[in-house]
Amino acid sequence: MSTTKKNRPKFDLLREAYKIIDAIPGRAFDLEMFITKMGEAPSCGTIACAGGYLAMNPFFKKRGLKLVVADECYYGGYTVQYRGNNGLYAFAKLFKLHESDSNGDDERDVFAARDHGYKDYELSNDQLDDLSDKALWKRRVLRLFQEYGEPFDRALGKHLYLSVR
């Protein structure tokens, strides 16, 4: 994978996303839909995926990420939008995530549903089952950091099967 500065994902934004999601309780995190249950505020009963939470966060809202009503009900009634792009394409644009490479790895899949995400195939079924949705998303982000040689605190990856490659 090319690691030139020009083609690198926006790791500064991914670090901010990681901090935001790290603060969300695991029981309120679900990789299957942008919003599974909407509370009055993210801290009041909302259940969402990383993309849903980021689209509700002031930091990312200020940068143009939006939560919008979706036509497809399987998104929980919502999708995310950024500069005219929806869903995974919105994240690709915002974070400069690349589409499939020669290995079939699609960086946009950091935000995909369970079992369809970035580098999930590296894990056995038992390892996948061992990780909560929140832990699996965190693994994907840190795995992307590994792929590009981007520094991160190795303690964050403890129990996330990052050595499985």
Structural contact between residues 79 and 34, judged by C-beta atoms closer than 8 angstroms: yes
**Per-residue pLDDT for the chain (165 aa), expressed as one digit of tens each?**
545 556 899 999 999 999 999 999 999 999 988 888 776 666 667 889 999 999 999 999 999 999 988 776 545 578 899 999 999 999 999 999 998 876 778 999 999 999 889 999 999 999 999 999 999 999 999 999 999 999 999 999 999 999 865
Contact yes or no for 109/117 (Cβ under 8 A): yes
- pTM comes to 0.89
Alpha-carbon span 136 to 114, nearest angstrom:
8
Backbone angles phi, psi at 129, to 5 degrees: -65, -30
